[in-house]
Every structure is written in structure tokens, then in C-alpha cells.
Structure 1
């Protein structure tokens, strides 16, 4: 009887220890976005392109994608500092699982497959490739970009795609302002950027001479990617997106960015437009 009681006691101790370890594991896996960010004293966000740090003497340039600006606003709403690392859709799952990133911002097409381990939360920003050219251009279709010089920016989604798909000669520059400056001075036959940016740019009077366009291509949605188990993070990011939606923040940001980029071009253009 005494031996039996001792054995039963051992079993109970082992079972209790197992329950404690299981509880710790569940607690660790249930730790949400805000909890992790507070522990590491800031939110780490994966983005397609990490904008180089501005240093004195550099020309200020507005980046191609709005994701960094949007994330700064989201972090402000969440009352957290934010830093960025490079990531994309293929690497997002590993980045989140290893906790190298708390959340990833990625542009995904309707056909993109999201693993069940991740959840996508749409920010409300849609990107489509669009080309603008001089109004007297002879380029009328995307296929006619073959052999023509096309400017794209290194932080955008389209570098490499135009040469591969249409045989264009890509001129990869630092930012949209550099691309559009090259278009105005004749160094490029076309500039390809997000339609959200270029449509706003074409509304400005000084860009009427460059109103020729190629119809926007297939859309991609900018989404937050977050672990499917992180209910805390999902709720927080949905509140951020709802705030953007109610204040029309995405459209307002696109307008502001277009004005900024147009001003950057204006400051740097020291030769007349091409004729």
C-alpha cells in the first residue's frame, strides 16, 4: 500500500509538472502583438523596402510605397516606437514565426495564397502598375514599351517586371521624384509607379503635358500579415484600419505624397522639359 501511494504521488507530480509546462507554452503562444512589442520596447515591422535613413546633405525623397508612413501612423495610434526590417510575402511566415517581426506589411494580389498560420488585414491601400508619358508619345500599349527606356524606383513593386514581361529597358532610380524628373527631361520614355500616386499627380496643372497613360494593371492590396493565433494584435490593427477608413486617411495620404513628390521634382529640375 505504501509503495502504491508513493508511485501514485510520483505520477501526480509528473502530471502537475506537465500541466505547468503546457500552461507556460500556451501562455507564450498566446502572447499578443502589444505584449511582445512592449517587452522589446518597440514594434518591429517587415516591409518590402526599408527606406534609407535620412542624413544631412542628402536630397529628401518620398518613397515609392506608403507602407512606412502608414506604419508610423499605426504605431503612433498604438503608442509604440517602430523599426523596420526587410520582408515580403514569401518570407513573412518565417519572420512572424521566429518573431523577427511582429507584423509584416505586404502587397498581395487576389490570387496570392496566404498560409493558414497567418491572417491578412487589408489596410485599404490598393496598388496597380500605371505608366505616364508625354502627351505626344507614340506609346499606346504596354507591349510597345519593348526597347524603350522606362523609369522605376528601387523601392517600388515594378523593378524587374517590365523588362521581363515587355522587354523594356529599365532605368532603376532611387525614388519616384528621380524617375519623374528623368521623364520630364527626356531621359526616360515612360515612368511606372502606383496608379494611386500617378492619378493624383496628373491632377496637378504642371503635369498636364505628361497626361498620356497606359491603363493600370492588376491590383494588389497592401495588408497587415499577422499570426492567425494573435487575437490581440488582430483587434489592435483592425482598430487602426477602421480609424483610417473613417477619416479617409489613405486617400489623403496619396494626395499629400503626390504633392510632396511634385515639389521634389520642381526643386531639382534645372533644365526645361523635353520637347
Structure 2
């Protein structure tokens, strides 16, 4: 046996009105709390009108080269540093910071931000405000297609070309027991594969793929599965929420896949031209 209780309509209206009022109060409190949290999270907008924006990077290019040739760099750290300085209306000052020293440099106030590569488990992600740029890649190889190495372990004892800026690639080649040849720029490393001076050149797979799509690189497009993926990020001190938000806003229109695809293709086209230029110059001498 069951009983059904139907309260009078006046009581129902009173109960429903109370619930609605409670919901409105809760919503108002939530919105107010969110506004307070957001204001705290945003922090003051940074002002660089009186001083330069100090950007930590893992490598600085030489002021010039003996033959005054310019080269496309290994990655996009320097480009992003310039973009951020422009977006913040600041003079840019690059500061060389070892990747493992990024956290300390931010904490000590030696730099305002660091543009670097970070893996999924990098401690920097827990100890700094990290803004993603939209670019990520693992390391891979460019080799001759007629005699490629079959596994990463086969690099032991082989000559591998790595650029000065590619600290991650250098560390990997050393761990694998390769005979490492460090060169100034990607074009020089890749040309050494074409000339046979190096068995392989080590670069980001995301940059090698558009290069391998060119007909002139089909004979030098052998590779191995990418390893040790990292993301290109901008790290800011944990207590500098305003700068982190400004960086995020500056990067947002540049971080989509189409923009990065265009950057990757430009990198490949420029490096391919530089290899051709240097090889022709070498043949002329």
C-alpha cells in the first residue's frame, strides 16, 4: 500500500520560489567568485615601455658568418621571441639560458620569459606558467634512400650531423653512441648527408616531412620513426599571470594548424634553397 501526498498549490509556489531564489543567489555568488578569481588570475598588464623584454632561449646565433651567409635556424624560438616583443611593444633582448636552467632564470628574474621545448613530463610544466604555441614534434633523421639505417640503435659508431641549436638532438645522438658532427645550420647538416660526409642528419620530423615531399629530396628522404616528442612553449614565472595572459593573447592568432603548416613549408623551402646554394658554390670552387 502506498500513499501519495499532494501539497496545496500555495505551498508548491512557495517552495519553487525559494528554490529559484536560492539558485539566483548561488549563480550570483558563483559569478562574483569567478570574477574575483579571474581578476586575480589575470594580474597587471605588463608594461615594457621603459625596459626591454628579456627572452631566454637555448641558443644564440653568431653576429655574422665568415662569408656573410644567412641561414634558416633549426627551430622557431628566435622567431617567436621577435613576435612576442612586437606584440608587447617592447625592445627585444635575447638571453642564452640552458633548458635545464629555465626555471631558475625565471625565479631569479634574469629573464621575463623563456621560449623552449618541453616534453609531456618536463618539470618546467609544474614550476612555471606554460603557454603552448601549437608546434610539437619528435626527432627524426634524413638519410640516403639507397642505404638507410634500419633502427635507431644502428646510429652507434655512425657519423650524425646535428646543428649547434639542436641540444635535444645532440643529447640523443650522444646517448646512441654516434660520432657527432656539430654544424652551424640545418642546411649545412642536410648538405653533408647529400655529399656523404654524414650518414644522417638529425632534425624535427615535423620539419623534415615537407622537405621530403620535394622531388629533389627523394634520394635523401629515408628516415626512422620519430622519437622523444616535445612541444614548443613559452614559460613565464608562476606569479606573473599578467604576462602569461599577454603572451597567450599574442600567440593565439598564430597557433593554429594552418599557420604552423605554412611555417613548416617555408622552413623546408628555405633550407632546400640554402642547400642548393651552398652545394653550387662548393662545386664552383
Q: After TM superposition, is the score higher than 0.5?
A: yes
Asked if 1:63 is matched to 2:73, the reply is yes
Q: 1:87 to 1:186 in 2, by over 3 A?
A: same
**Number of the residue aligned with 2:116:** 106
Q: 1:143 to 1:117 in 2, by over 3 A?
A: closer
Query: What are the equivalent positions in structure 2 for 1:1-275 lying under 5 Å apart?
Result: 34-35=46-47, 37-40=48-51, 42-54=52-64, 57-114=67-124, 117-156=127-166, 157-164=168-175, 166-246=176-256, 248-270=258-280
Structure 2, gaps ≥5 residues long: 1-41
Cα offset, 1:33, TM superposition: 7.1
**Number of the residue aligned with 1:22:** none
Q: 1:244 to 1:115 in 2, by over 3 A?
A: closer
What do residues 152-189 of structure 1 show as CA deviations (whole Å, max 9, x unaligned)? 1011121132122x211111111111101100111011
Cα offset, 1:148, TM superposition: 1.0
Q: Kindly indicate whether the alpha-carbon contact (under 8 Å) linking 1:47 and 1:86 is maintained by their aligned counterparts in 2.
A: yes
Q: Kindly indicate whether the alpha-carbon contact (under 8 Å) linking 2:148 and 2:222 is maintained by their aligned counterparts in 1.
A: no
Report the number of matched residues: 240
Q: 1:103 to 1:34 in 2, by over 3 A?
A: same
Cα offset, 1:215, TM superposition: 0.8
Structure-1-length-normalised TM-score: 0.81
Stretches of 4+ aligned residues off by more than 6 angstroms? none
Cα offset, 1:246, TM superposition: 4.6
Structure 1, gaps ≥5 residues long: 1-29
Q: 1:116 to 1:32 in 2, by over 3 A?
A: farther
**Number of the residue aligned with 1:14:** none
Q: 1:82 to 1:109 in 2, by over 3 A?
A: same
Q: Kindly indicate whether the alpha-carbon contact (under 8 Å) linking 2:49 and 2:89 is maintained by their aligned counterparts in 1.
A: no
Cα offset, 1:251, TM superposition: 2.1
Cα offset, 1:97, TM superposition: 2.3
Q: Kindly indicate whether the alpha-carbon contact (under 8 Å) linking 2:129 and 2:238 is maintained by their aligned counterparts in 1.
A: yes
Aligned-residue Cα RMSD (Å) equals 2.1
Q: Kindly indicate whether the alpha-carbon contact (under 8 Å) linking 1:33 and 1:230 is maintained by their aligned counterparts in 2.
A: no
